[in-house]
Structure 1
Amino acid sequence: MITVLVSFNLAPGTTRVRALDMYRRSANKWAKNVDLIEKYYYFDEESLLGGGVYIWKSFEAAHRWHGPDYVAMVESVYGNPPLIQIFDTLIHIEPDTKRIVDF
Structure 2
Amino acid sequence: MIVAFTSFKLPKPITREEARAIFLSTAPTYRGVPGLFRKHYVLSEDGGTAGGVYLWNSKAEAEAMYTDAWRAFVRGKYGTDPSVTYFDSPVLVDNLSQQILSDA
TM-score bin (small chain): 0.7 to 0.9
Distance 1:92 1:37, change over 3 A: same
Structure 1 vs Structure 2 CA RMSD: 1.8
TM-score, length-normalised on structure 2? 0.86
- Structure 1 counterpart SS, 2:69: helix
Among all aligned residue pairs of Structure 1 and Structure 2, give the percentage whose two residues are the same amino acid: 27
Which structure 1 segments of 5+ residues have no match?
Answer: none
Distance 1:33 1:97, change over 3 A: closer
| Match in the other structure for 1:67 | 67
* 1:1-103 mapped onto 2 (5 Å cutoff): 1-46=1-46, 48-95=48-95, 99-103=99-103
Q: Give the length in aligned residue pairs.
A: 103
- CA distance in 2: counterparts of 1:65 and 1:45, whole angstroms: 27
Which structure 2 segments of 5+ residues have no match?
Answer: none
Question: What's the offset of the Cα at 1:45?
Answer: 4.0
Distance 1:47 1:27, change over 3 A: closer
- Structure 2 counterpart SS, 1:63: helix
- CA distance in 1: counterparts of 2:24 and 2:98, whole angstroms: 32
Runs of 4+ in 1 over 2 A off after TM superposition: 94-103
